[in-house]
């Protein structure tokens, strides 16, 4: 992928996920200049693949109920075959 030609509006989800999870303070400033709180909130409420640390921070910062953030929920685990309730 050629990052110099990456469109920050068309590739919003990709960019936000990577920069929120792995970015430094400089990346955070860039995010705040190029994306709205609503765009970050929408990502948090729809993504299961952000780190819990990142999701906790942004949920607190944006005042989102942690129960509504998919990546903060207990992962689904299958019941082993042969067990029933």
pLDDT per residue as tens digits for the range 42-56 = 999 999 989 999 999
pLDDT score of 4: 73
In tens, the pLDDT along 7-21 reads: 878 889 988 999 999
Residue 18 lies in a domain: yes
Residue 84 lies in a domain: no
Residue 80 lies in a domain: no
Structural domains counted in the chain: 1
Residue 2 lies in a domain: no
Residue 53 lies in a domain: yes
Residue 23 lies in a domain: yes
- Model pTM above 0.85: no
Q: How far is CA 35 from CA 3, 41, 61, 63, 73, in A?
A: 18, 10, 15, 17, 25
Residue 61 lies in a domain: yes
**Residue 85 in this model has a pLDDT that exceeds 70:** no
pLDDT score of 1: 57
Residue 63 lies in a domain: yes
Domain that holds residue 49: 7-72
pLDDT score of 22: 93
The pair of three-digit structure tokens given for residue 71, joined into one six-digit string: 């990546």
């Amino acid at each position: 992928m050629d990052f110099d030609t990456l469109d920050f509006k068309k590739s919003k989800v990709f960019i936000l996920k990577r920069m929120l999870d792995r970015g430094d303070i400089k990346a955070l400033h860039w995010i705040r200049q190029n994306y709205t709180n609503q765009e970050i909130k929408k990502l948090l409420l729809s993504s299961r693949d952000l780190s819990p640390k990142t999701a906790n921070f942004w949920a607190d910062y944006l005042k989102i109920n942690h129960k509504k953030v998919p990546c903060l929920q207990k992962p689904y685990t299958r019941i082993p075959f042969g067990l029933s309730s």
